[in-house]
Structure formats: structure tokens, C-alpha cells
Chain A
């Protein structure tokens, strides 16, 4: 399957995530192709409340930091129900603000680091408990 075919298959999920997190523009490319996706402010139809994602059930699944940097909470409290792929916080790595995404469906545990705390590469920031 080509890069473009892969992307087209994942498009509904990608658009759902963009709507959910209020992301208006995405640009992707590799050696074989490129895609730029811009969403209008007034979509013709309401996107699903949650993105389409494969649901993974796991025991206390760790949520790692994507990079070394400074953790920024997005206000999600403990016991918040999350879906795999949902953004649960951010890590600032230099000029970049990288999303921290849930690695499974479930209930988010308390953040293991405070807002503004320094985190290492792949440090565990949360644990997701099953049964969310």
C-alpha cells in the first residue's frame, strides 16, 4: 500500500482527531508523497465526538513523554476517561510543543509530573487504567 493510500484510509480518523483537538492544518510528507490537509471553520457536518481509533485494553498502560523537555498539562484531571490517541498533555522541546497522546483506552491516572516540570525522553507521564 502506498503512502497516499495509507493516508486516505486513515483520513476519517485523522480528521476526527483534528476536529477534536481544534487543529486546522496538517502537513505530512515522506520520500514517496505529501499531503496538506486544511479544515474549514464551519464543517458541513459534525465530526464524531471522539476520533475513530482501535481500542486497546491494557493494565496500567504507561503514557511516555515524546521528548525531553518541559511538561505542560492540558487540564485533564485524574479519572478522566480517554481514548487511545487522545491528547492528554504537551511537552515543550525547545521551540516545539509536542502532544502527549493516550496509549490506550481507559481512565487517566494523575499526572506523574507537575505542570512545568522537566521530563526526560520517554519518561512515563501518566498511567492509564483499564475500564474507562
Chain B
């Protein structure tokens, strides 16, 4: 694979914190790039700041005044003479206005263009684009539902019930209503519109068929600036709570590999057609042998390591090379997946109530052994601040097959020690022994049903 030449952009600003900032720092060091770490006032002791070439405090602890403040991040980029900004995930990573401001400043965002972010950030235009590219979508409206009630009713009756009304500009469950019968439609549309307007400043909603027991399957893609695009296998992220993933794995078991390969090809082709660049993920619901597009994440995903473990491709390194203008150095035929990988998100949360549990980590011991990887910014004495997301570590294992990976994960979770704060580790340990998880192919409702059953 190519190494950067002297004339290429070399100064990378890491516009994030925690484990992903450390992950990006490592990729910069691997490529010999000059790395710049930004941080809030609460984050001066983050692990990656000891490894980067330059650091700068950009604002107060509140994310709104630091990591989410596009003007401050851009000013930091200007002050440090940055060429490339890597946004990681969350914060500004899918903010099209920020991407546009980066472009206008003459810098490069490690990701797609602002225009592509806008196209795929709007659920309606994204779905239209997917239909044009031959990516399967749920039966539903191709445009926003009309404000005329009887017209909306006619359209929804044609889709069939149950259906779901969703905000065009939304996500995270807001502006979303499940409609089981035609009688419930009018109230659902009105409340979804009202919520969408308040939450996203865009009251447009659309409707599509509601699947009752789907799995969450996603396809990782990489696309360069020369028009080449590849897919790197599928992930199963069905173990989630309130739309937050807790366990992810690759490959997705119990699905015909040929069907996944056909879907992957369509995703890669969609990237080429729209001019996508960088890493991205196409998310699907899978039920009764059919895939249905939900949305595209135009950024790096938290769960990217399971794909890295099964393909041997360093996705963050590839993101940086693409941002530097390098073509992909491999083709689809070069990509082989091997074994099975699982990731557990270790959050600083009560394992039963899921309430955030910030505080001082008095003792941290990482697990080890063959096939065990830990992506974390933890160290003895680190204080988890209350201001940000509660993800503190990602424990990833790679085994010869799924059973081997589950066994390795259980052993690694048992070996890992985090004291001083509550974490989700006990829940993960329990999950690795649950019959449903051992068997595999659970739906997105599995974990919440399990928690209800056990009274949590």
C-alpha cells in the first residue's frame, strides 16, 4: 500500500475525543502524519494527547462550546495549519454545514463532501437515491407525506399496516411513530410532524412498512476520489437498546452469503453513482429473507473494528489515505473475510438501569491473549467526565468461528478489570451465555425483551 509522499497533505486535526481520537492518532502515527489533538477543558488528560504532535484546548467542558462548536474546531484547524480534519463519529462527523465550512476553508474532511452528506442525511432524498441505485428499500413513500389528510391516508393504506411514520430530517427515534391500524394514522402523523419540526426544524415526515422482528444488518464501504468503491462485508448489530447498539459482530450469520454479496455490490455501485468518498455504512433491516435500506452513516462507525478483524483492512488508515487523494490500493477481489469477530461496547453505565456512571477509574487492567483487541482511552486514575457519551472501551475478539469468538469474548470480559465506576461489563458477560445470543440471529427487540423478562 502507498505511503504518503512529501508533497501530500500531512497535518491531521483529530476533531474528537476518547477511544476514537486514540484510534485515529494511531493511524496517523502509522502513516507518519503530523497529528493535532483538540480537547475541551475537561479533557486535558485524555490518553491520545500524549501521543499527538500538537494539542490545543478549544473550549469549555460542555460539548456545545467545544467538540460541537464548528467555528471553534475550524479556528483550531486554522491556528494549527491543518490540512485534513478527521471528525471520528458523533459530534460534527455528519454535519453537512461543518463539512461545507471545511471545504470552503480549503481543507479536506476525512469523509464525503457536504453535498453527499446532505443528500444522505435527508431520509427522503437518501431513499430516492437508493432506489435509483438499485439498493432495496421498504415499501413506502418516495416523498414527504402530503399535508392533506385524506391524500396521506390513501397513500398509507396502499403501503399497508403496520407502518412507521418517520421524520425526513431525523434520527434517534424522534419524530417516529408506529401505526398499527388505519384508525391511528391521523394522530401519528400529526404528533410525528410536530416532534420533527421541534427536534430537527423540518416537519416533513414519510411513511414506510414497519417490520416487527427485523435484524439490523449493515454493509461497510470504502470509496476513493478516483471513483473506485468496495464493500468490506456485513455486520450484525441487532443487540441494541433504544436504538443504541451494545454488541456487534461480523459476518452476519444465518444469511445466504450470496445474498449479502449481491447487496454489497449494490452498495458499492451506489457509492460510485453518487460520487461518495471515504468510509461509510449502509444500514438495513433484514426480515424474512429481504433487506430494506434504513439509512447511510456517512462516517466511521463505532463498530468498524469487527470488519477490520475479519478483513485485515485498517479502515481508519484507508480513510486518511483517501483524504490525501490516494486511490484504493486493493480491489473487491482482494478482500477476503476470515473467521468471526465480536465487539462489546463497554459503557460507564449501570448495567441494569443504563444510567450514566461517570467517575474515577481506580484500577484498569486490559484483557489479552490471541484474538483479543481493546480500543480504549482508559488508564489507572482516569476520570470519566459526565459531559459526554458513556462509551469508555470497545472489547473486540476474533475467533476461528462464532462459537470460538463467543468463548474468547467471555474469557476476555472475565479477565478485564475496571474498578471505581459501574460499567456494562456484567451485562455483556451475561449476554455471552444467553441461549438466544449463543444461537444467533436475534432481532433488534431481543435485548429489551430479555431485560423486561429479567425485571430490569
Measured CB to CB, the residues of A under 8 A from B are 68-70, 93-94, 118, 120-123
Q: Are B56 and A118 in contact (CB under 8 A)?
A: yes
A118 touches B80 (CB 8 A): yes
Residues of B within 8 Å of A122, CB to CB, are 41, 57
Known: A118-B80, A121-B41, A122-B41. A69 touches B75 (CB 8 A): yes
* Interchain CA distance A68-B59 in the complex, whole Å: 7
Q: How many angstroms between the C-alpha atoms of A52 and B58 in the bound complex?
A: 33
> In the complex, A121 Cα to B40 Cα: how many Å?
8
CB distance from A52 to the nearest CB of B (A): 30
Q: B201 at interface (Cβ–Cβ under 8 A)?
A: no
Asked if B41 and A68 make an inter-chain contact with CB atoms under 8 angstroms apart, the answer reads no
Query: In whole Å, how far is B44's beta carbon from the nearest beta carbon of chain A?
Result: 9
Q: Beta-carbon contacts of B46-90 to A below 8 Å, as 1s and 0s?
A: 000000000111111000000000011001100110000000000
Given known A120-B56, A120-B58, A121-B60, contact A69–B41 (CB-CB < 8 A) = no
Q: Which of B41, B59, B60, B75 contacts A94 (CB 8 A)?
A: B75
Distance from B11 Cβ to chain A, minimum over Cβ atoms (Å): 13
Across the interface, name the chain B residue whose C-beta is closest to A92: B79
In the complex, the answer to whether B75 meets A93 with C-beta atoms within 8 Å is yes
Q: How many residues of B contact A (CB 8 A)?
A: 13
Q: Is the CB of B60 within 8 A of A68?
A: no
Q: Are A120 and B75 touching (Cβ within 8 A)?
A: no
B58 to chain A, nearest CB (A): 5
Chain B residues closer than 8 Å to A118, beta-carbon distance = 56, 79-80
Residues of A within 8 Å of B80, CB to CB, are 118
**Distance of A70 from chain B, by nearest CB (Å):** 7
B56: nearest chain-A partner, CB-CB? A120
- Closest residue on chain B to residue A123 by CB atoms: B57
Q: How far is the CA of A93 from the CA of B78 in the complex (A)?
A: 11
Q: How many Å lie between the Cα of A120 and that of B55 in the bound state?
A: 9
13 contacts between A and B (CB under 8 A): A68-B59, A68-B72, A68-B79, A69-B75, A69-B79, A93-B75, A94-B75, A118-B79, A118-B80, A121-B41, A121-B58, A122-B41, A123-B57
* Minimum CB–CB distance for A25 against chain B, Å: 26
CB distance from B60 to the nearest CB of A (A): 7
Which residue on chain A has the smallest CB distance to residue B80? A118
A91 to B71 Cα, complex, angstroms: 17
Instruction: Tell me which residues across on chain B come within 8 A of A70, comparing CB atoms.
Output: 79
